[in-house]
Amino acid sequence: MQYPEPIARLIASYMNLPGIGQKTATRLAFYTIEMKDEVVSEFAKSLLSAKRDLRYCHICGNLTEEDPCEICQDPTRDKSTILVVEESKDVMSLEKVREYRGLYHVLHGVLSPMEGTGPEDINLGSLISRLHNEEVKEVIIATNATTEGEATAMYLSRLIKPAGIKVTRLAHGLSVGSDIEYADEVTLLKAVEGRREL
Ligand SMILES: [Zn+2]
């Protein structure tokens, strides 16, 4: 038996999400149909608005409603330090710690020869131009403690250090393979404080 067209389309939509297979998508689709109209309507609206009202900051690459983002625009932030992360959600995790008052740069990925991701495929060019244009004294590399994250950190270090800028790496109380996203605030604070020079 075929599902009616609207539900088949909903299942197909859910299957576009990462980690969602046919079975989960079907369960979610049927669950959605049972939800109250206003809840579904709110859900649809947040999907559209997240896509429509957000953009990437042209300076740091962070997700933002305004360009430049709030952090890049904030005159009280310390412009001598740039903390480099893989994803926008890492910025949000680190901002929760509140201790860090410098700027960020979001790579939107990591170098991965296995997957064919090279330096030109991540948000690297704009980081390099920031280093030319601004009074940057330290770059803190906070890519995740995965093989790709470590390789990216080494690559960045080799690229940036010759410019006379201090390059540090977050201390990893974060265990190997762990994501910044999932680290608690105390662990992140310790990681920032205990950063080591590369
Ligand atoms: Zn920004």
What pLDDT score was predicted for residue 195? 83
Ligand 1 center to residue 62 CA distance, Å? 5
What pLDDT score was predicted for residue 198? 80
What pLDDT score was predicted for residue 158? 93
Which pLDDT tens digit goes with each residue over 109-166? 999 988 899 999 999 999 999 998 768 999 999 998 888 998 999 999 999 998 889 9
What pLDDT score was predicted for residue 176? 47
**Alpha-carbon distances, residue 92 vs 64, 95, 172, 193 (angstroms):** 11, 5, 19, 18
Written as six digits, the tokens of 22 are 């046919």
Residue 180 burial (CB < 10 Å; 0-12/13-18/19+)? buried
Cis bond leading into 68, ω under 30°? yes
- Residue 15's contacts (CB-CB under 8 Å, 6 or more residues apart) are 21, 22, 25
Give me the residues near ligand 1 (ion), CB cutoff below 5 Å: 57, 59-60, 62, 68-69, 72
Quick one: 5-53 is in which CATH superfamily? RecR Domain 1 (1.10.8.420)
Ligand 1 center to residue 70 CA distance, Å? 7
Per-residue pLDDT at 175 exceeds 60 = no
Per-residue pLDDT at 47 exceeds 60 = yes
Which pLDDT tens digit goes with each residue over 179-196? 777 777 777 777 777 788
Where in the chain are the domains? Answer: 5-53, 75-169
Which pLDDT tens digit goes with each residue over 9-39? 999 999 999 999 999 999 999 999 999 999 9
Ligand 1 center to residue 48 CA distance, Å? 22
Ligand 1 center to residue 104 CA distance, Å? 7
Average of pLDDT values for 76-91? Answer: 94
List the one residue out of 137, 144, 142, 193 whose CA is nearest residue 160. 137
Ligand 1 center to residue 71 CA distance, Å? 6
- Residue 35's contacts (CB-CB under 8 Å, 6 or more residues apart) are 43
Written as six digits, the tokens of 163 are 């410019």
Dist CA 15 CA 23 (whole Å) = 9
Helices (H) and strands (E) in the chain — how many of each?
8, 7
Q: What is the Cα 126 distance to its own chain's centre?
A: 16
Which CATH number fits the domain 75-169, given the four candidates 3.20.20.70, 3.40.1360.10, 3.30.930.10, 3.30.360.10?
A: 3.40.1360.10
Average of pLDDT values for 95-115? Answer: 91
Least confident of 34-38, 59-63, 102-106, 160-164: 160-164
End-to-end CA distance of the chain: 60
Per-residue pLDDT at 44 exceeds 80 = yes
